[in-house]
């Protein structure tokens, strides 16, 4: 058999949709300035699918900082991995400022949050150790666990009673092996918008010995009184041992960081393979991140604007009878019911008739018969955008209720 045969015969769980969906449902091209409205296939659309929570992506001050840093340093500097030749005082400054912001002793930068998370887990968890984790863990956590040698126990999403059972199993094992336990949860779950139950999880520390790592990709910059994250929201920063954040969302950049006790961060600095053997973040990303962090700290108005939009969108959708699940964060899932064809019809209708661009999730990511439309409100949106969208969603719901999307051919639907 040719190793490449599978590329045609079995292109993978997502790849199998490429023929029909590519360019429209998958790999769509959003063009123009990053904002509440962008161009898609030559037409302006109201966009609800970017994690530009605080609206910093194209903020003039951010653009200026990025451009000046690019002009001064270019994209090459510093050359090499941090450990060998890719280290600068600005990387260090950013780490110190991040650590202070999330109230930890130390922080270390990561090239891409994803790769960072993979290596954090792989570096920390040896063959005698055990991981306890949530069933909705992000792919980067799953991949990290695949590389880690220790055993792992999963609990159903946010089922803390079950998590305790897994901790009991884990404890029995480490008592024999002499290893430790790493508990991993997310701060904000990116699909459903509900929060990891950090208060209940840290309470388990009184009964069990474990260390807690949170992936707060969606919570950094959006949650907590100062935007320092979901653990700040719960008032448990001193009980979360390792705090992971990414620059890909609120910070509208690339990269991420891990923060915690000095000796743990030092260990990670010397043991995360994806960081030791990869080029460090280029200077414009670092200088740009310093600027974004300063704005995050000193300009709460971006977060306040975000929450004005979040509250308006979520309360109006709920008032209109929509099921938003258990979201407690800006992530706004709208749970509808229908088959695959209806899901395509809804998305197409939203885009072509209402010029609304949002992400759609169907089986197998959510149960069969569920259509999950995921809206990401940002500080760039307006209250008019919210009114317009809720009105469109009501019309869509009515069409679903009256079977308007059943047995339709998409290309004929709106002609
Ligand atoms: C929960 C979560 N963790 C980690 C990541 C990966 O971060 P990055 O985009 O910085 O690689 C993402 C997606 O961006 C995410 O949603």
Which residues touch 172 (CB under 8 Å, ≥6 apart)?
Answer: none
Domain of residue 211: give its range: 60-298
The model's confidence at residue 409, banded by pLDDT at 50, 70 and 90, is low
Q: Do 269 and 317 share a domain, yes or no?
A: no
* DSSP-assigned beta bridge partners for residue 323: 335
Q: Do 122 and 211 share a domain, yes or no?
A: yes
CATH number at residue 72: 3.40.640.10
* DSSP-assigned beta bridge partners for residue 257: 109, 245
Confidence (pLDDT) at 407: 73
Distance between CA atoms of residues 245 and 250, nearest Å: 10
Q: If you average pLDDT over residues 158-162, what whole number do you get?
A: 98
Taking alpha carbons only, the member of 212, 280, 244, 240 closest to residue 118 is: 244
Distance, CA 117 to ligand 1 centroid (Å)?
9
Cβ atoms within 10 Å of 367's Cβ, excluding its own: 9
Q: Do 174 and 285 share a domain, yes or no?
A: yes
Which residues touch 298 (CB under 8 Å, ≥6 apart)?
Answer: none
Distance between CA atoms of residues 231 and 219, nearest Å: 9
Q: Do 305 and 391 share a domain, yes or no?
A: yes
Q: Ligand 1, closest atom to CA 256?
A: 10
What Å distances lie between residue 128 and 185, 210, 259, 347, CA to CA? 21, 14, 24, 48
**Whole-number CA gyration radius for the chain:** 22
pTM: 0.96
pLDDT tens by residue, 276-325: 999 999 999 999 999 999 999 999 999 999 999 999 999 999 999 999 99
Q: Which of 298, 329, 345 is the last residue of a domain?
A: 298
Question: What letter does residue 280 receive in the DSSP assignment?
Answer: P
Taking alpha carbons only, the member of 229, 240, 235, 234 closest to residue 293 is: 229
Q: Do 275 and 394 share a domain, yes or no?
A: no
Q: Do 251 and 333 share a domain, yes or no?
A: no
Q: Do 170 and 35 share a domain, yes or no?
A: no
Q: Which of 274, 298, 322 is the last residue of a domain?
A: 298
Distance, CA 113 to ligand 1 centroid (Å)?
6
Q: Do 170 and 308 share a domain, yes or no?
A: no
Q: Do 214 and 90 share a domain, yes or no?
A: yes
Q: If you average pLDDT over residues 341-352, what whole number do you get?
A: 92
Q: If you average pLDDT over residues 256-282, what whole number do you get?
A: 98
Q: If you average pLDDT over residues 135-158, what whole number do you get?
A: 97
Q: Ligand 1, closest atom to CA 249?
A: 14
Distance between CA atoms of residues 51 and 248, nearest Å: 8
CA 152 to chain centre: 23
Which tokens sit at 408?
């339709």
Q: Do 331 and 196 share a domain, yes or no?
A: no
Distance between CA atoms of residues 266 and 355, nearest Å: 49
**Ligand 1-lining residues (CB < 6 angstroms):** 112-114, 117, 138, 140, 186, 190, 215, 217, 246, 248, 256
Residue recorded with tokens 């919210």? 386
CATH number at residue 348: 3.90.1150.10
Distance, CA 308 to ligand 1 centroid (Å)?
25
Which DSSP string do the residues of 156-206 spell out, in sequence order?
STT-HHHHHHHHHHHHHHHHHH---EEEEEESB-TTT-PBP-HHHHHHGGG
- Nearest-5° angle of CA 204, CA 205, CA 207? 70
Q: Which of 298, 318, 338 is the last residue of a domain?
A: 298
Number of domains in the chain: 2
Which residues touch 43 (CB under 8 Å, ≥6 apart)?
Answer: 355
Distance between CA atoms of residues 359 and 345, nearest Å: 13
Which tokens sit at 202?
């840290």
Q: Ligand 1, closest atom to CA 114?
A: 11
Q: Atom 3 of ligand 1 has which residue's CA nearest to it?
A: 217
Q: Atom 5 of ligand 1 has which residue's CA nearest to it?
A: 114
pLDDT tens by residue, 171-193: 999 999 999 999 999 999 999 99
Q: Do 169 and 290 share a domain, yes or no?
A: yes
Q: Do 212 and 66 share a domain, yes or no?
A: yes
């Amino acid at each position: 058999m040719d190793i490449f045969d599978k590329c045609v015969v079995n292109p993978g769980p997502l790849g199998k949709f490429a023929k029909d969906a590519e360019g429209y449902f998958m790999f769509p091209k959003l063009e123009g300035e990053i904002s509440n409205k962008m161009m898609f296939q030559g037409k302006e659309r109201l966009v609800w699918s970017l994690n530009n929570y605080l609206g910093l992506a194209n903020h003039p001050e951010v653009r200026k900082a990025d451009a000046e840093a690019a002009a001064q340093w270019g994209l090459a500097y510093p050359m090499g991995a941090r450990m060998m030749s890719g280290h600068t005082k600005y990387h260090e400054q950013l780490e110190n400022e991040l650590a202070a912001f999330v109230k930890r002793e130390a922080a270390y930068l990561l090239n891409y949050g994803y790769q960072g998370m993979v290596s954090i887990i792989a570096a920390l968890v040896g063959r005698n150790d055990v991981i306890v984790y949530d069933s909705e863990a992000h792919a980067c956590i799953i991949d990290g666990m695949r590389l880690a040698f220790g055993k792992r126990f999963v609990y159903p999403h946010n089922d803390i009673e079950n998590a305790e059972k897994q901790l009991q199993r884990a404890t029995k094992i480490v008592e024999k092996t002499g290893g430790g336990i790493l508990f991993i949860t997310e701060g904000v779950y990116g699909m459903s918008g509900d929060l990891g139950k950090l208060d209940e999880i840290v309470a388990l520390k009184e009964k069990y010995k474990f260390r807690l790592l949170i992936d707060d990709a969606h919570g950094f910059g959006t949650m907590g009184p100062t935007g320092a994250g979901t653990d700040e929201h719960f008032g448990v920063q001193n009980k979360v041992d390792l705090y992971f954040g990414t620059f890909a969302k609120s910070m509208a950049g690339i990269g991420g960081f891990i923060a915690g006790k000095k000796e743990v961060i030092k260990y990670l600095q010397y043991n995360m393979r994806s960081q030791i053997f990869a080029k460090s973040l280029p200077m414009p990303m670092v200088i740009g991140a310093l600027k974004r962090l300063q704005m995050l700290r000193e300009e709460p108005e971006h977060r306040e604007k975000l929450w004005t939009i979040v509250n308006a969108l979520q309360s109006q959708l709920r008032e209109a009878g929509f099921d938003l699940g258990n979201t407690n964060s800006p992530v706004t899932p709208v749970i509808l019911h229908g088959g695959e064809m209806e899901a395509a019809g809804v998305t197409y209708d939203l885009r072509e008739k209402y010029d609304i661009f949002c992400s759609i999730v169907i089986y197998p990511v959510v149960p069969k018969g569920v259509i999950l439309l995921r809206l990401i409100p940002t500080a760039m949106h307006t209250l008019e955008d919210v009114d317009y969208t809720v009105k469109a969603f009501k019309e869509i719901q009515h069409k679903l209720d009256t079977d308007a999307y059943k047995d339709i051919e998409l290309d004929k639907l709106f002609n």
